[in-house]
Amino acid sequence: MATFDGKTVLITGGGSGMGLATARLFLEQGANVAITGRNKAKLDEAAKHLGTERIFTFVADVAEPGQAKAVVEATVKKFGRIDILVNNAGTNLKERTFRELTPESWQQVIRTNLDGAFYCIHYAIPAMLERKEGLIININSVAGLRASPLGGIAYAASKFGMRALGIGLHAEEMASGIRVTNIYPGEVDTPILEFRPTPVSEDHRARILKPEDIARTVVFVASQPPHVSIPEVTVKPTGQAFV
């Protein structure tokens, strides 16, 4: 019997990068997996590549509460339940300094990175509370621990908020059997690097984390028994400072 036989995992931002790598690893471990994102072509390609009846795709922008609700309901209709929610959807901007930010670009980052996570939790957690068991994993960033110019102010603010959301929710609901983990990756070779103000070289990409590194961390957290909770995990490239 595989580790996650009979379990259902919902992963936002699952069409590429860390979300796709995480979906693949959960599928290998026997889980049913739902992936969501805004790009239908990416989701279709991901499902074709993964090639199993245990993968379900649903096009949605989780920054919109109605669409977050729809993806949760569709996943439950397909698989019967959601045992693990992985909030992975995220975005950033090329124009990320405070001087460059506008109210519109600020909202774009906050809504995707922070509001989207809240909406998905809001709609997924009632059934978890009824069962007195559920795991929520927030893919945060070292920018949620260190507000540096590399990530930009809006991105850091969204990730600091995501950190508070995870820590606060766990504190409120730990007696209800709900576990919440915030994972803080350092630099990862994913499509979000395309939003860097300065292009990232191939040599630099070779030195940083790969999506599979974070996927293994997610599955490690999820593989712990219900009485074990891991509140926070930081994973960074060996060559990246953590100061």
Tens-place pLDDT, residues 158-184:
999 999 999 999 999 999 999 999 999
Which domain does 42 fall in, by range?
8-235
Q: What is the CATH number of the domain that holds 179?
A: 3.40.50.720
Residue 147, CA distances (Å) to 141, 142, 152, 159, 160 in order = 10, 8, 7, 9, 8
pLDDT of residue 51: 87
Element (H, E) at 226: none
149 found inside a domain: yes
Residue 155 a catalytic site member: yes
Q: What percent of the chain has pLDDT over 70?
A: 99
Assess if residue 243 is contained within a domain: no
pTM of the model: 0.95
Closest C-alpha to 138, from 87, 76, 207: 87
Q: What pLDDT sits at residue 214?
A: 98
Confidence of residue 195 (pLDDT cuts 50, 70, 90): confident
Q: What's the structural domain count of the chain? A: 1
**C-beta of residue 35 within 8 angstroms of C-beta of residue 54:** no
pLDDT at 199: 86
162 within a domain of the structure (yes/no)? yes
pLDDT, residue 3, reads 85
Query: Would you say residue 3 lies in a domain?
Result: no
The sign of the torsion formed by the CA atoms of 17, 18, 19, 22 equals: positive
- Exactly one of 119, 123, 155, 184 is catalytic; name it: 155
Read off the pLDDT of residues 202-218 as tens digits, 9 standing for 90 and up.
999 999 999 999 999 99
Q: What does the pLDDT look like over 61-115, one tens digit per residue? A: 999 999 999 999 999 999 999 999 999 999 999 999 999 999 999 999 999 999 9
Q: Does residue 151 fall inside a structural domain?
A: yes
| Tens-place pLDDT, residues 28-66 | 999 999 999 999 999 999 999 998 899 999 999 999 999
Helix (H, G, I), strand (E, B) or coil at 73: helix
Averaged pLDDT of the chain: 96
**Mean pLDDT computed over 135-156:** 96
Report the pLDDT value the prediction gives residue 1, as an integer from 0 to 100. Answer: 52
pLDDT at 158: 98
Cβ-contact 237, 185 below 8 angstroms: no
